[in-house]
Amino acid sequence: MFPKKVKKRLEDRDGERATVIAANTTFDGTISGQDTIRIAGNFKGDITCEGMLWVEKGGKMNGPVNARWVIIEGEINGDIEAAEQIELRSEGQVIGNISSAKIAIAQGCFFDGKARTLNIKDPPLTFMEKRNK
């Protein structure tokens, strides 16, 4: 009856349930889950997530990532594999290789590694952030 609302922004896919490592918190270990994982503090270890991994501004992660979607506003030191999309925002930093069906890299970010799209017809895109901060 009514058209389905299209989710254009990656963060609109963020679920209601999330595992959060809050600012000023440090965690070492392994996290796996089906829903969103948000890191605002420090995490060292492996993450496997069927939903979204969101490393917020000020958040730091050290270790490999496997998720459906990944947003990086903080720092990741490790390889990232995303089934659908990786978005490296202007204040984000990645040291490691990234691979996904879609990759968006904002001007102003820091990236040291190799980027590989799963579909050769869709090379990584660059963009300028126009979001309110």
Residue 97 pLDDT > 90, yes or no?
A: yes
pLDDT tens digit string along 35-59? 999 999 999 999 999 999 999 999 9
* pLDDT in the model for residue 6: 44
**Residue range 111-115: average pLDDT?**
96
Neighbours of 118 (CB within 10 A): 14
CA-closest candidate to residue 68, choices 41, 47, 91: 47
pTM: 0.84
